[in-house]
Amino acid sequence: MSNVLSTPILLQIRKIVFDKFNDTSLRFTNDEIFEILKTLDMTKSLAIDDMKPFFNKLHQDGFLRPIAQNFTTQWFKLFGEVEKTNCNSCNNEIHIGKLEERICPSCKISI
């Protein structure tokens, strides 16, 4: 697995959070996301240790924030509720937090 942040994986993490953990009062873990993520073809070679840069990026973007850590398990909460929308530019279905900058996480165009 390279260290390059894969946009398709970031988009999948956003989708998983939207589908399963879209509640600002919920706590969820990197392990819970990883369990779902690794059922997809694109992430078969991914290890839990590879996940950290993805969560760091989602924190920088204002999507989620780390609230606790115990060994390799990290707990997160959302900054704001996540909305599903369609990007008119790249035509992807995207999931974006209400408090995030309105930039498409796929093509980086303002939405």
Closest to Zn ion by CB, 72 or 89: 89
Closest to Zn ion by CB, 78 or 104: 104
Closest to Zn ion by CB, 48 or 90: 90
Cα distances (Å, whole numbers) of residue 27 to 3, 31, 106: 27, 12, 25
By CB under 5 A, the residues from 92 to 111 that bind Zn ion are 104, 106-107
Q: Which of 40, 84, 89, 99 binds Zn ion (CB under 5 A)?
A: 89
Q: Which of 16, 58, 87, 96 binds Zn ion (CB under 5 A)?
A: 87
* 90 binds Zn ion per the rule CB under 5 A: yes
